């Protein structure tokens, strides 16, 4: 099964839940799609065995063939091209690699070359395959990296896969949950948390995915997120109590299900509930 | 108008908690929420009056006229985003369409048009005393850099001319929305959290903020969760020549306040006291600066 | 000589716009005959790449000098490769900045900030 773990914003414990689920499941694949700020590897500390660059295609212009007609500049919806002093300038960070300029050029002056925007790493941490994507600082879209990370390969075959999504509900989150069998929505019990939960809830509904919520850092006080779950009929898979010890474990990059009997049991039971949800 | 931007790098560090407290303490006449992916500030710093709402348009998206489509499949072969769905008549999956217009270019029968596309809403709350600008992106849209600029512009355009300062709740991460929120601000306050993951994010956000040459201050929220890392953050500030504004302890009354839709500083407590001290430091510097 | 400045309004006494790429108008001021033209910035609401498009239009309109408070890295690349010289404006109106430039009191613009890249 493929389980995507997501949350409306960062800091809710999304990585904590994804990492511990992957750990408790054993023999699983953990994929960190939060390519802007990948943190799962800080917990798993995998031994990296493969590191691969991720490239996108960007245009290059042959000055001798270019006749300065500017059709490509006018065509580019992203304004990634400019024509200055009889030379075409390409702004690769803005380019979406659509290939339109190459098609429109009447002189066949434009071709494409590879540009590296980041990389991904594969490595084992015990029995867990850890895949991490890293976007280079200053690059704007991690989607090409996420696509590579989620591609089927021999490491995935027959394994349960846990996807740590980017925070929020942007296009990169959609890319991360596209093929998931189940979505786990992680939220804090504050009014902020409830509002953010509502946003990811709208997203998973849009994509018709089965889902359930994990409420993290719960205290005895009000729980607006639990209220929202009830209102919107979201099954609450687990409520994890606020725990200073846990906060310390997390802050030091330790896996709670490995360190503590209590959390080991909690995540094994959470896995069972997810499995039931997938089968439904 | 001096602009104070509150940033965090990692989400969930308490950025909005600090922003809402500062807004209340300073009786800010202008403020904005630039976290357009998951705006929260309105929940605690919200004006009761009604607000005006304006659609925010992103890049146009393709649309195929089924009456004109001859199902030649050229759009399908050329689309690099998997946004054309094959069938008897080809259709566009607008969620995948990035608006490049290549399909329009290659269509031999002009069946493709580019249609305006609302990707979010801009909201403005105002009364005689203050303006509050905020926005929300619809799920699945990531064009938030421009929307952040629009939120700030809306605040500036609607604030009274003599407004001395504005408080801006920034976006998490280090990407485009953060860069847009950093544009033209006078000071950045980074709200950090003492964890390994928070630390690396904080280093990245400092690097980004540095490139804008604004004044930077930093405070640590929930510092007592891991005093060792808090100490490391302080050392980093010293090394990087960043003014350290103070530490906020973990305090359950902070969560209580937020769930009552109130700024933390409306209640007494350890966190409330600490934020008040940080507020004084930050504002003295913000308003004294030329 | 032709001077370009990002403007908030179509009026010589209006303020210089703080954003180069997203200014609503550009003032083109010809110092030979003191003629002022305001041209709308069609890139102002572009979801991405506004600075590049705006810089292209400054060059296409044959400006020699650009007065602006700030400039992103992408726009700066375009401007630099064209030979248009950039000077940093001071807070004040368009006409005040033109007068200051004429007197040689404006500094060349050297701080270039990272562009506000269009996000996918």
Residue B212 carries which DSSP code? T
**How close is the nearest chain C Cα to the Cα of A80, in Å?**
6
Inter-chain CB proximity C119 and B143 less than 8 Å: yes
Q: B175, B179, B212: which to substitute to probe chain C, counting the most C Cβ within 10 Å?
A: B179
Higher pLDDT, C70 or A118: A118
> What's the confidence (pLDDT) of residue B48?
67
> What's the confidence (pLDDT) of residue B290?
42
> What's the confidence (pLDDT) of residue B143?
61
Distances, alpha carbon A56 to alpha carbons A33, A187, B118, in Å: 18, 34, 28
The answer to the question of residue C20 being in a domain is: yes
How many structural domains comprise chain C? 1
Inform me whether the pLDDT recorded for A174 exceeds 70: yes
For residues A117 and A54, the answer to whether their CB atoms sit within 8 Å is yes
Tokens representing A47? 């031994």
* Percent of chain C whose pLDDT exceeds 70: 93
Q: Which residues of C touch B184 (CB under 8 A)?
A: 18-19, 70
Segment B44-70 shows an average pLDDT of 86
Backbone angles phi, psi at C73, to 5 degrees: -65, -35
Which of these, B175, B207, B201, B163, lies nearest to B188 by C-alpha position?
A: B207
The answer to the question of residue C92 being in a domain is: yes
Inform me whether the pLDDT recorded for B72 exceeds 50: yes
Inter-chain CB proximity A202 and B139 less than 8 Å: yes
Model confidence over B188-197: pLDDT tens digits?
A: 999 999 988 7
Inter-chain CB proximity B211 and C113 less than 8 Å: yes
Phi-psi domain of C67 (left: phi exceeds 0; alpha: psi -120 through 50; beta: other): beta
Kindly state the greatest CA–CA separation across chain A.
Answer: 72
Tokens representing A33? 């799609």
Q: Choose among C55, C81, C117: nearest Cβ to A94.
A: C117
Q: Which residues of C touch B176 (CB under 8 A)?
A: 116-119
Q: Choose among C49, C53, C59: nearest Cβ to A84.
A: C59
The answer to the question of residue C13 being in a domain is: yes
The domain made up of A56-116 has a fold known as: Alpha-Beta Plaits (3.30.70)
The answer to the question of residue C26 being in a domain is: yes
pLDDT band for position B176 (cuts 50, 70, 90): low
Inform me whether the pLDDT recorded for A142 exceeds 90: no
Q: Find out if CATH 3.40.50.300 is the number for domain A2-54+118-279.
A: yes
Inter-chain CB proximity A98 and B80 less than 8 Å: yes
pLDDT band for position A268 (cuts 50, 70, 90): very high
Tokens representing A180? 């998931």
Inter-chain CB proximity B183 and C113 less than 8 Å: yes
Tokens representing B71? 């199902």
Q: Which residues pair with A145 in a beta bridge?
A: none
Inter-chain CB proximity A99 and B78 less than 8 Å: yes
What is the C-alpha separation between A122 and B183, in angstroms, rounded?
A: 37
- Give the orientation angle of helix A191-206 with respect to helix B252-259, to 10 degrees: 60
Domain regions of chain A by residue span: 2-54+118-279, 56-116
Model confidence over B98-140: pLDDT tens digits?
A: 899 999 999 999 999 999 989 899 999 988 889 999 998 887 7
Segment A69-98 shows an average pLDDT of 91
pLDDT band for position C113 (cuts 50, 70, 90): low
The answer to the question of residue C114 being in a domain is: no
List, in sequence order, the alpha helices (H) in B175-226. 176-182, 196-210
Tokens representing A147? 């696509």
Pick the CATH number of B61-116 from 3.90.850.10, 3.30.70.20, 3.40.190.10, 3.30.1330.60: 3.30.70.20
Domain regions of chain B by residue span: 2-53+120-288, 61-116
What is the C-alpha separation between B194 and B248, in angstroms, rounded?
A: 11
Distances, alpha carbon A51 to alpha carbons A89, A122, A124, B180, in Å: 31, 7, 13, 32
Q: Which residues pair with A51 in a beta bridge?
A: A121
Higher pLDDT, B3 or B261: B3
The answer to ipTM > 0.95 is no
List, in sequence order, the alpha helices (H) in chain A. 14-25, 40-44, 71-75, 100-104, 143-150, 171-177, 191-206, 224-231, 244-251, 256-259, 261-279
What is the C-alpha separation between A278 and A258, in angstroms, rounded?
A: 25
Inform me whether the pLDDT recorded for C98 exceeds 50: yes
**How close is the nearest chain B Cα to the Cα of A101, in Å?**
9
SS (H, E, C) C38-85: EEECCCCCCCCCHHHHHHHHHHHCCCCEEEECCCEHHHHHHHHHHCCE
Mention every residue, 6+ apart, whose C-beta is less than 8 A from residue A126. Answer: none
| Other chains touching A, judged by 3 or more CB pairs under 8 Å | B, C
- CA angle A46/A52/A53 to nearest 5° reads 130
The answer to the question of residue C117 being in a domain is: no
pTM to 2 decimal places: 0.77
Segment A264-276 shows an average pLDDT of 95
Inter-chain CB proximity A82 and C78 less than 8 Å: yes
**How close is the nearest chain B Cα to the Cα of A193, in Å?**
9
The residue assigned the tokens 């203050």 is B130
Q: Does C82 touch chain A (CB under 8 A)?
A: yes
CA B22 to chain CA centroid, Å, is 17
Burial of A196 (C-beta count, 10 Å sphere; 0-12/13-18/19+)? buried
Q: Find out if CATH 3.40.50.300 is the number for domain B2-53+120-288.
A: yes
Q: How many CA atoms lie within 13 A of A241 on its CB side?
A: 8
For residues A10 and B172, the answer to whether their CB atoms sit within 8 Å is yes
> What's the confidence (pLDDT) of residue A167?
86
Segment A56-63 shows an average pLDDT of 95
What is the C-alpha separation between A52 and A49, in angstroms, rounded?
A: 10
Residue C102 carries which DSSP code? H
> What's the confidence (pLDDT) of residue C118?
41
Nearest chain A residue to C51, by CA: A79
What is the C-alpha separation between A151 and A116, in angstroms, rounded?
A: 18
Model confidence over A227-262: pLDDT tens digits?
A: 999 999 999 999 999 888 898 898 889 999 999 999
The answer to the question of residue C109 being in a domain is: no
pLDDT band for position B174 (cuts 50, 70, 90): low
- For residue A230, the SS3 value is helix
Inform me whether the pLDDT recorded for A84 exceeds 70: yes
What is the C-alpha separation between C102 and C93, in angstroms, rounded?
A: 14
**How close is the nearest chain A Cα to the Cα of B243, in Å?**
24
State chain A's mean pLDDT as an integer: 92
Inter-chain CB proximity A171 and C49 less than 8 Å: no
Inform me whether the pLDDT recorded for B82 exceeds 50: yes
Mention every residue, 6+ apart, whose C-beta is less than 8 A from residue B62. Answer: B83, B92, B97, B99, B101, B103, B104, B112, B113, B114, B115
What is the C-alpha separation between A275 and B235, in angstroms, rounded?
A: 46
Segment A60-86 shows an average pLDDT of 93
Which of these, C70, C69, C50, C52, lies nearest to C60 by C-alpha position?
A: C52
List, in sequence order, the alpha helices (H) in chain B. 15-26, 41-44, 74-78, 102-106, 144-158, 176-182, 196-210, 227-240, 252-259, 270-288
């Amino acid at each position: 099964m493929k389980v995507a773990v997501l949350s409306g914003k960062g800091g809710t414990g999304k990585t904590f839940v994804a990492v511990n689920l992957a750990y408790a499941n054993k023999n699983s694949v953990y994929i960190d799609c939060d390519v802007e700020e990948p943190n799962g590897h800080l917990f798993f500390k995998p031994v990296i065995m493969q590191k691969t660059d991720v490239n996108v295609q960007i245009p290059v212009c042959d000055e001798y063939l270019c006749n300065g007609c500017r059709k490509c500049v006018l065509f580019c919806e992203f304004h990634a091209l400019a024509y200055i002093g009889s030379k075409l300038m390409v702004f690769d960070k803005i380019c979406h690699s659509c290939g339109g300029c190459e098609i429109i050029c009447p002189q066949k002056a434009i071709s494409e070359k590879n540009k590296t925007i980041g990389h991904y790493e594969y490595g084992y941490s015990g029995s867990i395959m850890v895949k991490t994507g890293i976007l280079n600082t200053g690059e704007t879209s991690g989607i090409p990296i996420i696509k590579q990370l989620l591609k089927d390969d021999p490491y995935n075959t027959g394994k349960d896969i846990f996807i740590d999504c980017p925070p929020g509900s942007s296009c990169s989150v959609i890319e991360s949950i596209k093929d998931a069998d189940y979505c786990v929505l992680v939220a804090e019990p504050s009014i902020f948390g409830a509002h953010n939960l509502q946003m990811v809830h709208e997203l998973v509904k849009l994509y018709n995915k089965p889902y359930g919520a994990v409420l993290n850092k719960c205290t005895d006080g009000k729980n607006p997120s639990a209220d929202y779950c009830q209102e919107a009929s979201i099954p609450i898979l687990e409520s994890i109590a606020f725990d200073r010890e846990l906060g310390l474990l997390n802050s030091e990059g330790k896996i709670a299900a490995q360190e503590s009997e209590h959390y080991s049991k909690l995540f094994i039971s959470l896995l069972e509930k997810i499995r039931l949800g997938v089968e439904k | 108008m001096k602009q104070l931007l509150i940033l965090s790098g990692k989400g969930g560090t308490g950025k909005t908690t600090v922003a809402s407290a500062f807004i209340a303490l300073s009786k800010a006449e202008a403020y904005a929420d630039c976290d357009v992916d998951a705006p929260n500030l309105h929940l605690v710093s919200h004006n009761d009056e009604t607000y005006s709402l304006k659609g925010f348009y992103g890049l146009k998206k393709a649309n195929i006229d089924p009456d004109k489509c001859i199902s030649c499949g050229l759009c399908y072969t050329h689309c690099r985003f998997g946004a054309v769905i094959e069938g008897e008549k080809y259709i566009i999956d607008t969620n995948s369409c990035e608006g490049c217009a290549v399909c329009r270019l290659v269509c031999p029968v002009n069946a493709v048009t580019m249609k305006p596309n609302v990707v979010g809403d801009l909201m403005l709350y105002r009364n005689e005393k203050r303006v509050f600008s905020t926005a929300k992106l619809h799920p699945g849209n990531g064009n938030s850099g421009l929307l952040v600029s629009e939120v700030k512009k809306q605040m500036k355009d609607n604030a009274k001319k003599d407004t001395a300062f504005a408080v801006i709740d920034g976006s998490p991460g280090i990407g485009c929305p953060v860069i847009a929120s950093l544009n033209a601000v006078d000071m950045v306050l980074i709200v950090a959290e003492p964890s390994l993951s928070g630390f690396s994010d904080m280093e990245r956000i400092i690097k980004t903020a540095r490139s804008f040459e604004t004044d930077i201050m930093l405070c640590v929220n929930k510092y007592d969760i891991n005093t060792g890392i808090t100490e490391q953050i302080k050392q980093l500030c010293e090394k990087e020549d960043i003014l350290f504004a103070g530490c906020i302890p973990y305090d359950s009354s902070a969560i209580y306040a937020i769930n009552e839709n109130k700024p933390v500083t409306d209640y007494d407590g350890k966190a409330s006291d600490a934020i008040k001290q940080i507020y004084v430091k930050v504002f003295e510097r913000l308003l004294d600066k030329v | 000589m032709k001077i370009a400045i990002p403007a908030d309004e179509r009026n010589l006494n209006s303020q210089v716009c703080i954003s180069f790429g997203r200014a609503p108008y550009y003032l083109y001021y010809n110092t030979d005959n003191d003629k002022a033209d305001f041209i709308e910035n069609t890139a102002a609401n572009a979801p991405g790449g506004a600075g590049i498009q705006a810089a292209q239009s400054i060059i296409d309109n044959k400006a020699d000098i650009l007065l602006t408070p700030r400039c992103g890295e992408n726009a700066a690349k375009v401007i630099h490769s064209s030979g248009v010289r950039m000077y940093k404006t001071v807070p004040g109106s368009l006409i005040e900045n033109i007068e200051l430039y004429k007197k040689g009191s404006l500094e060349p613009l050297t701080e270039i900030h990272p562009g506000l890249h269009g996000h996918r």
